[in-house]
Amino acid sequence: MLDKLKSLLRSDELLPSLSVFPEIDQDKIQRDLNLVAEGETRGKRNLPASGTTAPDHVETSVITSIDALRRKGLENYETNRQVYNERLSRADTMRKEVEIVAGNASGDYLTAVRGWKALMTASTERLHETFQHRKYFRERHHLRRPARHFEGWVRFVAITIIFIAFESGLNMFMFARGNEQGLLGGLLTAVIFSGVNVVASVLLGIWACGVNHTNYLRKFLGLISLAAWIALALALNLTVAHFRDLIDSQADWSDAILQAVPALNQDPMGLTSMDSWILLAIGSMISIFAFLKGWHAFDPFPGYSRIERDLEHAREDHSRHFEEAIEELTEKRDVATDELRDADQQVRDGISQAIDALYGHSTLNFHLESFLDQCDKSLAHLLAIYRDANVAARTDEAPPSFATSHAFAAFRTAVPADDTRRRNAETEADRVTAAVEAAIREIFANFQTAVTEFRLPEDVQQGTVATAPAEAA
C-alpha cells in the first residue's frame, strides 16, 4: 500500500551524513607526495629560492590534493541540499499519495466489512428464525422446560449392546441345558432372544413418546406403541419362559420350539420350573430398562430435541462467523491504521529532515563545519611538514612564501533556502496528518458499525434491532 510513497522517498538518493564528506588521510597524502624527502632534497638545493613569494610545485600538490577532497565533499553536500529542496517541492505529491493510500485503506476496509455483512446475513436470519420457531413450538405445546439432549449414537448403541450382552450372559446357562452345542448353543439362543427383546423394546420406547404429544393422532400412535410394547414384552418373555419350562420337562429342543406357543396360549402363567420364572423375570426387567432407554433417548416430547439441536447448530454457526468476522476485521483495522500512521510518519520525517537540513543546525550542517575545518588544518599540517624539512636542509634563508598560510575560499551554498517552500511543506505535512487521522477515524467507525450490526446471538434471537453509533452515521 505504501510502495509508491516509499519509492518517492527512495528516489531522493540521499547519502548518509557520514558518507557525504570524504575522509582526509594526512599520512597517506604525506606518503604519496613524499613530503619529507622532497623537502630535504629541495632544501639542500636551496629551492625554492629565498625570494620566492608563491607556493612551489610541492606545496601546490598538497593544496591540490586537499582541495580535491574538499570539492568532493562540497559537491555531495550540495547534492543532498538539492535533494532536500526537491523533497520539499514534492511535499504536495507525497500528500496526495498519502491521501490516495488513506482513501484506498478506508475503502478496502469498508469492502471487507460489507463482505462479512453479506456472509453474516444468512447465519443471522437462520439463528433468528430457528429461535422463533422453537419459541412458537414451546408456546404451541405448552412447554416451559429445556429440551433433553440426545446423548449421541455411540453411547446409545453401546448401552443397547450392553443390555443385550447382560441378558445373554444371564440366560445362556438357562438355554445350555438340553442343547447339543452346550454353552455355545445356549449363548447363541440367548443372544437371539435378547436382541429381539432389547431392540424391539428400545424402538417401541422411542415411538411411545407420542403419548406426550398434543396432537391427537400422534398421541394415539404413541398409545399403540405403548400397548404393542406391553404385548410384545409379555408374549416374548412368556414364550421364552415356556420354552425353558418344556426343556426342563425333558422335551427335545425341536419339540420345545413347536410346543412353546401352544403352551403359552393354553396357560400363560402355567410355569412349573423356577428357572423359567427367573428367565421371565430377567427378560421382563431387561425389556423395561430397554423401553425406558428408548423413552429417554430423545426428549420425551417428540420433535423437541430436534428443534433444540437445530437452534444449537444455528447458534454455533452464527458464533463462528461472528468470531471470524471480528478477528479478521480487527486484524485488517490494525494493519491499515499501522500503515497509515507509518505513511504519515515517513512524510513528516522526510519533510522535517529537509527543513532541518536547509534551515536549521542539522547533522549534515554540523558535519560540513567539521569537514571544512579539517580541510584547513590538514592543509596547514602537510605544508608545515614539507616546509620544516626544507628549512632544516637549507643553507640560505627560507623564502617569504613559507611564512604565508593558504586559505580556501569561503563556501557559499548554491541552493538557497526558500521560506515559502518551507511553509508550504509544513502545511502539506499537517494536511497529511489530517488525512491519515480522518481515514483512521472512518476505519474505526466502520469497525464499530460492523460489530454493532453483526450483533451477539442473544440479540439476534430476540430480534433486537441494532443501532449504529453516531460516528458511523
For residues 56 and 47, the answer to whether their CB atoms sit within 8 Å is: yes
For residues 126 and 317, the answer to whether their CB atoms sit within 8 Å is: yes
Query: Do 20 and 49 fall within a single domain?
Result: yes
Please indicate, yes or no, if residue 126 is contained in any of the structural domains. no
Q: Which domain holds residue 187?
A: 153-297
**pLDDT tens digits, one per residue of 374-428:** 999 999 999 999 899 999 998 888 899 888 888 888 887 655 555 666 677 778 7
- Mark which of 230, 265, 297 sits at the end of a domain: 297
Give backbone dihedrals phi and psi of 102, rounded to 5 degrees, phi first. Answer: -65, -45
Q: Position 60: which residue type? A: T
Please indicate, yes or no, if residue 133 is contained in any of the structural domains. no
Please indicate, yes or no, if residue 136 is contained in any of the structural domains. no
Query: Do 246 and 324 fall within a single domain?
Result: no
| pLDDT of the residue at 417 | 55
Query: Do 192 and 269 fall within a single domain?
Result: yes
Please indicate, yes or no, if residue 303 is contained in any of the structural domains. no
Query: Do 177 and 74 fall within a single domain?
Result: no
Query: Do 358 and 388 fall within a single domain?
Result: yes
Could you tell me where the DSSP H helices lie in 208-270?
216-248, 253-266
Give the Cα separation of 268 and 162 in Å (integer): 29
Q: What is the pTM of this model?
A: 0.51
Query: Do 382 and 468 fall within a single domain?
Result: yes
- Mark which of 244, 269, 297 sits at the end of a domain: 297
Peptide bond into 469 cis (omega under 30): no
Please indicate, yes or no, if residue 120 is contained in any of the structural domains. no
| pLDDT of the residue at 355 | 66
Of 420, 418, 347, 411, give the one whose Cα is nearest residue 12.
347
For residues 178 and 189, the answer to whether their CB atoms sit within 8 Å is: no
SS3 15: coil
Query: Do 360 and 444 fall within a single domain?
Result: yes
Please indicate, yes or no, if residue 462 is contained in any of the structural domains. yes
| pLDDT of the residue at 3 | 56
Domain count, the chain: 2
Query: Do 10 and 48 fall within a single domain?
Result: yes
Give backbone dihedrals phi and psi of 50, rounded to 5 degrees, phi first. Answer: -60, -25
SS3 143: coil
Query: Do 292 and 235 fall within a single domain?
Result: yes
Of 341, 396, 337, 309, give the one whose Cα is nearest residue 44.
396
Query: Do 291 and 338 fall within a single domain?
Result: no
DSSP state of 398: P
| pLDDT of the residue at 460 | 63
Please indicate, yes or no, if residue 125 is contained in any of the structural domains. no
Query: Do 357 and 457 fall within a single domain?
Result: yes
Please indicate, yes or no, if residue 92 is contained in any of the structural domains. yes
Give the Cα separation of 100 and 94 in Å (integer): 10
Give the Cα separation of 197 and 190 in Å (integer): 10
pLDDT averages per 10-residue partition of the chain, 473 residues: 50 54 90 91 89 90 92 86 69 74 81 82 83 84 76 76 78 64 70 85 86 83 90 85 72 66 74 76 86 82 82 86 85 85 79 64 73 91 91 90 86 63 75 83 84 67 47 34
- Mark which of 297, 324, 347 sits at the end of a domain: 297
| pLDDT of the residue at 60 | 92
Cell matching residue 272: 412349573
Query: Do 291 and 337 fall within a single domain?
Result: no
> Cα-atom radius of gyration of the chain, to the nearest Å?
51
